[in-house]
Structure 1
Amino acid sequence: MKVAAIGAHPDDIELGAGASIAVHRNRGDTVRFIILTKGGKVAERDQREAEARRAAEILNVDDVQFLDYEDTRVPYDQSTVDELEAKLAEIGPDRVYIHAEEDTHQDHRRAAKASITASRNVNQVLAFEAPSTRSSFAPQYYNSVPEGVIEGKIEAIRSHTSQQEKKYLEAEAMKGLARFRGRQANSTYAEAFQVIRINNMYKSNFHGHN
């Protein structure tokens, strides 16, 4: 399977789908990260890019693409859609992980809208949750993941050292959310997603529920 994950900022993909990405790579799936900004509001852009690449390396992902939009000012317009579509077309993914529209961060909302349009021809599109996701987020699909993979996700998140003041980056908080979603999925740990589109012909070997 070929997979792409789209995040507005460094650390978004790891927070929302890091464990699922690790499972994809463990299976030998091809994965590309597409990150719309390099941050810049909280820490220097070069530092945040380096942190993102280190986190991707921990998850065994070496294909990381940046689109270089300005932090907090990600646009939802034709040029954003075109850039995302071009990055997706280069690998022809079977599945794309994206932001959910139900989010309090404007970059996340606009990234979600642009991603939905850009991935309109992809067989599977799943929206992940973030610490800023609204309570209206209602998952319909779960990826069950092993405990060791959750630990790898936490390690990847911790590589974003410039963001460590944020409480949601604490290991126990991330593990607690994975445990809560795991209960919903009848497993120990899981990540939860909203289904934008899913074609059962291409269903993965995850212990997913939809």
Structure 2
Amino acid sequence: MQVAAIGAHPDDIEIGAGASIAVHRNRGDAVRFIILTNGGKVAAQSQRRAEAERAAEILNVDDVHFLDYADTEVPYNQETVDELEAKLTAVDPDRVYIHAEEDTHQDHRRAAKASITASRNVNQVLAFEAPSTRSSFAPQYYNSVPEGVIEGKIEAIRSHESQQEKKYLEAEAMKGLARFRGRQANSTYAEAFQVIRINNMYKSNFYGSR
């Protein structure tokens, strides 16, 4: 299975879909990360980029691409769509993980819109949640994940040392959300997604999904 994940900032993919990405890699699925900014508003771009590359390494992902848009200024226009589409077309993914539109951060909303357009020919498109996701986020798809994988996700998030003052990135917060989503999915831990598109011929391909 070919997989791509799109995040507005260096830590977004790990927060929203890090455990699912780890399971994909454990299965031998190819994964590409596409990150729209270098996150320069909070820390030096070089530091945040290095943190993102380290997090990807922890999740066993070595195909990481940065589009270098300015932090907080991700545009939703034809250029963004074209760049994303080119990165997706190069790997022809079966599944793409993206931001949800129901989000209070402008970069996340614009990234979601551009990603939906750029992935219009992909069989599966799933939108992940973030700490800034609004309460209107309504998951319809769950990836159940083992406890060891959750620990790997937390390790990947912790590699973003410049962000550690953010309380929602604490291990217990991450585990608490995974437990809550796991209860909804009849498992111990899970990540939850909104379905943008899903082709039934691929639906059973992910371990523990429902």
TM-score by length of 1: 0.99
CA distance in 2, matches of 1:43, 1:60: 25
For residue 42 of structure 1, what is the aligned residue in structure 2? 42
For residue 141 of structure 2, what is the aligned residue in structure 1? 141
Q: Give me the CA root mean square deviation.
A: 0.4
Structure 1 segment 97-176 matched on structure 2, within 5 A: 97-176=97-176
* Structure 1 unmatched ranges of 5 or more: none
For residue 208 of structure 1, what is the aligned residue in structure 2? 209
Q: How many angstroms does 1:18 deviate by?
A: 0.0
Q: How many angstroms does 1:206 deviate by?
A: 2.0
CA distance in 2, matches of 1:202, 1:123: 8
Q: How many residues of Structure 1 are paired with residues of Structure 2 in the alignment?
A: 209
Tell me the SS of whatever aligns to 2:6.
strand
Q: How many angstroms does 1:207 deviate by?
A: 1.4
Describe the superposition over 1:37-74 as per-residue Cα deviations: whole angstroms up to 9, x where unpaired.
00011000000000000000000000000000000000
For residue 24 of structure 1, what is the aligned residue in structure 2? 24
4+ runs deviating over 4 angstroms: none
* Structure 2 unmatched ranges of 5 or more: none
CA distance in 1, matches of 2:25, 2:111: 24
Task: Indicate yes or no: 2:74 matched with 1:74.
Answer: yes
Tell me the SS of whatever aligns to 2:187.
coil
CA distance in 2, matches of 1:187, 1:206: 12
TM-score by length of 2: 0.99
CA distance in 2, matches of 1:197, 1:142: 14
